[in-house]
Amino acid sequence: MSAALTFWRSFAVNRGAVLGLAVMLGLVVLAVLADIAAPYSPIEQFRDSLLTPPVWQEGGTWHYPLGTDDVGRDILSRLIFGARLSLMIGLTVVTLALCLGTALGLTAAFAGGIVDVVIMRTMDVVLVFPSLLLAIVVVAILGPGLFNAMMAVAIVFLPGYTRLVRASALSELARDYVTATRSAGAGTLRLMFNTVLPNCAAPLIVQASLGFSGAILDAAALGFLGLGAQPPTPEWGTMLAGALQYYQRAWWVLTFPGLAILITVLAFNLLGDGLRDALDPKLKR
Amino acid sequence: MSKFRSALLGAVALAGFAIAGQATAQAKTLVYCSEGAPENFNPMINTTGTTFDANKPIYDRLINFKPGSTEVEPGLAEKWDVSADGLTFVFHLRHNAKWQSTKTYKPTHGFNADDVIFSFERQWKDANPYHKVSGGAYDYFNDMSMPDLLVSIDKIDDYTVKFVLKKPQAPFLANLAMDFAAIQSKEYADTLLKTGKPELIDQEPVGTGPFELVQYVRDATIRYRAFPGYWGAKPKIDTLVFSINKDAAVRLAKLRANECQISVFPAPADLPSIKADKTLQLLSQPGLNIGYLAFNNQKPPFTNIKVRQAINMAIDKKAILDAVYQGAGVPAKNLIPPSLWSYNTKVEDYKYDPAAAKKLLAEAGFPDGFETDLWAMPVQRPYNPDAKRIGELMQSDLAKVGIKAKIVSYEWGEYRKRVQNGEAGMAELGWTGDNGDPDNFFVPLAGCAASRIGGGSASKFCNPEFEALIQKAAEITNQSERAKLYEQAQVVMHREAPFFLIAHSVVYLPMRANVTGYKMSPLGAHEFTTVDLK
Amino acid sequence: MLRFLLRRVTLIIPTFIGVTLASFLLIHAVPGDPIEVRVGEHGIAPERLAILRHEFGLDQPLWKQFADYEVQVASGHLGASTVTHQPVWDEFLTLFPATVELSVCALIFALVIGLPLGVIAAVKRGTAFDYGLMGVSVTGASMPIFWWGLMMILVFSVSLGWTPVAGRIGDAFFVEPWSGFMLIDSWFSDDDGAFASAVSHLILPTIVLGTIPLATIARMTRSAMLEVLGDDFIRTARAKGLSPLRVVIVHALRNALIPVVTVIGLQVGALLGGAILTETIFAWPGVGHWLIEAIQRRDYPVLQGGTLLIAVLVMAVNLGVDVTYGFLNPRIRK
């Protein structure tokens, strides 16, 4: 309890981080309650109200507070359901990259030798390609779609986690307590997951929280290039791609989904910064 | 001094007050905002309209399409004789056609029969040293069955060439007016071969056409100037520039700023504002095309005629035209566009009637509908401005009669292949006519031969009654008799409903109000020989 | 030092082989091939497909294709585009300057604004300026730049009409591309106003591509400066009575620059990724634009050669950063 309290105290000092946390919690609530919170279904088309402007502009109406898109769907409702998708994207990508990266990193650190070399050189190769280019090629292989886009982004994120886990595992392995546990007869797996991994947790948590924002951003970029979620899925990047034809005439179809991405990514970045400062005393100033 | 001034201007621009509309530097420069970069400068080895457009100013053919029509007129051949059996064509070539030059090549003589022979043999004969140059894929030459059709091409004298065919073929002359039949210079080819750089023939082109290439900046601009040695009427403009812009919104913005004077493929959403703009004019022409949703007629439940008819009643065609085509299309009730001869005006389209559709579905054994997939192309096509949006509209209409359709898309090449392999349940696709013959629509899209797995037809439709009609129509030459058969075929097709026919798009071309003399081509080409600026 | 250099260079060789293998395999795993993509609605007869596949060498087993490719690369050839039939290397050379021009401008923009802002924020630590700047910079680092670019176009090009919408220079200007850098070429053009036009076309893409590096550099400079400002030698310098400006600029900034240089080096990969999006939005005819098109057209030689060249570039920059860093900081050389 007191550890949690200490953590919260050092976290709460950072006002930006608290703001980020609040926005994130708000998004979670919206995502969970999307069915209640959204005025309409995200895919319902109101064929007699195409491209209605937002309420404060001439021609706008309270029926569609943020206006409608080119087939008459309520933008507010799509954004609210999109929050659900974005959180899911962040969660899936980070979980995938985290699990795989941890497994690879621990294997490399424990096995050493040729296994280590192969894993780490492979990660080097992945890192050499610009991440977006690599993600685009991976999606081209798997075919466009939300899940495939998430896979692609997870692959791109993999080296970061693998390197991090390997580095911290190696430094833990050199410590006395590990040698002691080992000589006490603990198996390798037990050593990996019970002893070494918990000690690398802090940097991993920080990396994961920052990874959330990267995942949302990259998945949105793929959606924007037409390679992510397919219509009528209300994914924010995909909404932007659909808005391209109309944005000079109807600024709202472009502005709001982009703002939603920006705010979400910003919230996770602030949160990640705060977590880093609170969890990693070495970096704390 | 001028450098200093431009530096100053640059600084001003940096501060945010950029200078717009400097485009009118020289007199009689026409800038055309085009939609994409040409693949290279040889129409023989390409298939896209974009590349054909960029090559039209440079090259001539033996025969040309009259500007603004599908009728043919003399090109490099001044006249021609056809033998009574229709197997021998003798072309009399013009004497006054000159070749253009490049930085490294100056022609020593004008156009003659050797050039004609070279240009066809390059595409036709393995032994020609240029046959394999630049990839060696002559898609149109093969698509038009030239290798099966040609027996020989011979030079009678310097200005007479004889073509001998295996069988008579009425559209042969029109085929020679197509882009792939461009004439390249044999002397230029020989010179390049000697210097060991044959591939330059397709990168630094030499033609006999009205304009010669000055500069191509990859993915940005193509610059031509009027060719002083051109044999025909001199173009009215001195410099022609293609400004390459993929984005329709960008093209329109440039047109509005007078950075270009003609701009291709406007977004349908922008048409009303273009019409309202006094500084612009908007030409339009019905396109020779059809956009449709094909049912896979060999895959249940679409084997059931009632299901196909029901979907024809369940989708609100008008909503699609309003929301997506926005005036740039006419609703389709027949496979062929209304401008084509034999179009059956008496066919009456299915009415939008969800209740009747639901009833039909129940009769077909699907009272609660069914689940299926609906394929949408990933790309914009001339006949379909936004397949995904149309897919979404259809999906929502189909849901109302209980059909749950999942939108599926693949990369374009993959998409076409899978659809033609019969993997889709329902798939959006379409067709643009090549030569203005109804046969060119019915046979590839709904004929039995094309319905094999991997065949061109997306509908996999093979109906004996329909097939007999179109087969018969292809064998006779009398056009009014053929028209009657095609009209009947359209009635059969309406009843069988192998497609949900969406629309024939209307091609719009916005340009500045001071542009005169532009003629729109029914075949979708863009040509600037007759254009002038007031 | 020499040993350090040698070790770093040897490490690159397996990565390089891995990169050629990865780019080859990944690209061949993409469904569809260059022939299928160009066929279109007309379809293709199976016999002709077989002929074409043979001509492109696509009927060979994959390992054979890879072996051929390796031999080709080892002898310095990257093949020719299946679409334009021009050598990949030539295409890269014509387009790469456009990407470099944009990236360098973006980096300069980020440095010129980011460095001073970071320094000021560090000096005025804890003030409203500091908080405001850090807020803006974390926002900048969170920016979806594809949206940012479109918003800039919407405001500055469409609504205000201040900047051109797309491209590198007005279409009416005739510029001989002898260096490939539009700013240089247009400067020597005979057309008056060509240079101004080139500059005005650069403004928005530069800002858009420079946004994220700017945010990163400002943050990095601030924290590096904070660290250095607390060091003993700065206190000594202050105690000696040197002017505060001199202390900050000459003593502190010089030392703070080391981590900043590293960050700039690491930004190169990210810049190229950002260039793909920026070039797409502004129709900037550069390498990113080229690769996206090549993916759509399944232009294998261009994709393989292009990704390979970019990967080599990133490796070279990383090596350069490592070496510079090792040079500046002898401790990591061991």
Q: Would residue A247 count as lying in a domain?
A: yes
Helix (H, G, I), strand (E, B) or coil at B347: coil
pLDDT of residue B19: 38
DSSP state at residue B323: I
User: What chain C residue is nearest to A245 in terms of C-alpha separation?
Assistant: C150
Residues of A in contact with C292 (CB under 8 A): 136, 225
User: What chain A residue is nearest to B272 in terms of C-alpha separation?
Assistant: A249
Q: Would residue A266 count as lying in a domain?
A: yes
From the list C63, C43, C86, the residue with the least C-alpha distance to C299 is C86
Helix (H, G, I), strand (E, B) or coil at B371: strand
Q: Do C148 and A258 touch (CB under 8 A)?
A: yes
Q: Would residue A201 count as lying in a domain?
A: yes
Query: Rounded to a whole number, what is the distance in angstroms from the first to the last CA of chain B?
Result: 33
Tens of pLDDT, residue by residue, chain C (334 residues): 677 778 777 777 888 888 888 888 888 877 767 777 666 666 677 777 787 778 777 788 888 888 888 888 778 788 888 888 888 998 899 899 999 999 999 999 999 999 899 989 988 888 888 889 888 999 998 999 999 999 998 899 888 888 887 888 887 788 877 788 888 888 888 777 888 889 999 999 999 999 999 998 898 888 888 888 777 777 777 777 777 777 777 777 777 777 777 777 777 777 887 888 899 888 888 998 888 888 877 788 888 888 888 888 888 887 887 777 666 666 554 4
Most confident option among B7-11, B51-55, C303-307: B51-55
Q: Do B392 and A231 touch (CB under 8 A)?
A: yes
Q: Would residue A11 count as lying in a domain?
A: no
What is the average pLDDT score of chain A?
85
pLDDT of residue C38: 66
Does the CB of C193 have a partner CB in chain B at under 8 Å?
yes
| C-beta separation of B55 from B215 below 8 A | no
Q: Do A225 and C292 touch (CB under 8 A)?
A: yes
pLDDT at A183 over 80: no
The predicted model gives A138-154 an average pLDDT of 87
Q: Do C40 and B31 touch (CB under 8 A)?
A: no
| ipTM surpassing 0.90 | no
| Cα pseudo-dihedral B12, B15, B20, B26, rounded to 10 | 30
Q: Do A242 and B388 touch (CB under 8 A)?
A: yes
Best of A128, A212, A284 to substitute, by most chain C Cβ atoms within 10 angstroms, is A128
Confidence of residue B74 (pLDDT cuts 50, 70, 90): very high
pLDDT of residue B204: 93
DSSP state at residue C286: S
Domain with A119, as residue range(s), is 33-272
Paired sense of beta strands B221-226 and B239-244, if any: antiparallel
pLDDT at B250 over 70: yes
Across chain C, the runs of DSSP E, i.e. the strands, are none
Give the number of other Cβ atoms within 10 Å of residue C268's Cβ: 20
Convert the pLDDT of each residue in B381-413 to its tens digit: 888 988 988 999 999 999 999 999 998 887 777
pLDDT of residue A1: 55
pLDDT at B54 over 50: yes
User: What chain B residue is nearest to A238 in terms of C-alpha separation?
Assistant: B388
Give the number of other Cβ atoms within 10 Å of residue B85's Cβ: 9
Does the CB of B246 have a partner CB in chain C at under 8 Å?
yes
Displacement of CA A99 from its chain's centroid (Å): 14
The predicted model gives B17-28 an average pLDDT of 46
Q: Do B323 and A245 touch (CB under 8 A)?
A: no
Percentage with pLDDT > 70 across chain B: 94
Residues of A in contact with C19 (CB under 8 A): 125, 128-129
Paired sense of beta strands B289-295 and B426-432, if any: antiparallel
Does the CB of A145 have a partner CB in chain C at under 8 Å?
no
Q: CATH number of the domain that A264 lies in?
A: 1.10.3720.10
pLDDT of residue B18: 37
The predicted model gives B103-126 an average pLDDT of 94
Does the CB of B418 have a partner CB in chain A at under 8 Å?
no
Task: List, as ranges, residues 105-144 from C with C-beta within 8 Å of B.
Answer: none
Q: Would residue A219 count as lying in a domain?
A: yes
pLDDT of residue B12: 42
Instruction: Nearest by CB to C314, from A128, A254, A266: name it.
Output: A128
Question: Distance from C85 to chain B by nearest Cα, in Å?
Answer: 5
User: What chain B residue is nearest to C182 in terms of C-alpha separation?
Assistant: B217
Q: Which of A238-252, B313-327, C83-97 has the lowest mean pLDDT?
A: A238-252
The residues, ordered by sequence, that sit 6+ positions from A180 with a Cβ below 8 Å of its Cβ are: none
Domain positions in chain C are 2-74, 92-297
Q: Would residue A20 count as lying in a domain?
A: no
Residue whose token pair is 């040079």:
C327
Convert the pLDDT of each residue in A36-80 to its tens digit: 888 888 888 887 888 888 988 888 888 898 999 888 899 999 999
pLDDT of residue B25: 42
Count of CA atoms in the C-beta half-sphere (13 A) of C16: 15
pLDDT of residue A154: 93
DSSP state at residue B66: P
From the list B139, B142, B110, B115, the residue with the least C-alpha distance to B201 is B115
Give the number of other Cβ atoms within 10 Å of residue B522's Cβ: 19
| C-beta separation of B258 from B478 below 8 A | no
What is the average pLDDT score of chain B?
87
pLDDT at B445 over 70: yes
Does the CB of A258 have a partner CB in chain C at under 8 Å?
yes
pLDDT of residue C1: 65
Query: Measured over all CA atoms, what is the biggest interatomic distance in chain C, rounded to whole angstroms?
Result: 87
Identify the residue with better confidence: B179 or B8.
B179
Amino acid sitting at position B358: K
Q: Which of A104-108, A138-142, A200-204, C215-219 has the lowest mean pLDDT?
A: A200-204
Superfamily of domain C92-297: MetI-like (1.10.3720.10)
What the block records as the tokens of C85 is: 């039939």
pLDDT of residue B212: 95
Q: Do A137 and C269 touch (CB under 8 A)?
A: no
Q: Do B409 and A47 touch (CB under 8 A)?
A: no
Does the CB of C203 have a partner CB in chain B at under 8 Å?
yes
Convert the pLDDT of each residue in B135-191 to its tens digit: 777 878 887 778 888 999 999 999 999 999 988 776 788 789 889 999 999 999 999
- Report the number of distinct structural domains present in chain A: 1
Does the CB of A138 have a partner CB in chain C at under 8 Å?
yes
pLDDT at B325 over 60: yes
Does the CB of A144 have a partner CB in chain C at under 8 Å?
no
Helix (H, G, I), strand (E, B) or coil at B423: coil
Identify the residue with better confidence: C78 or A215.
A215
H helices of chain A, in order, are 2-12, 15-32, 34-37, 75-111, 113-128, 131-142, 146-173, 176-183, 188-190, 197-199, 201-224, 236-243, 251-279
Measure the CA–CA gap between A226 and A219, rounded to whole angstroms: 11
Q: Do B223 and C174 touch (CB under 8 A)?
A: yes
Does the CB of C203 have a partner CB in chain A at under 8 Å?
no
pLDDT at B292 over 90: yes
Measure the CA–CA gap between C42 and C50, rounded to whole angstroms: 17
Residues of B in contact with C38 (CB under 8 A): 47, 139, 413
Measure the CA–CA gap between B522 and B520, rounded to whole angstroms: 6
Measure the CA–CA gap between A223 and A234, rounded to whole angstroms: 10
Query: For the CA atoms of chain B, what is the radius of gyration?
Result: 25
pLDDT at B11 over 70: no
DSSP state at residue A229: S
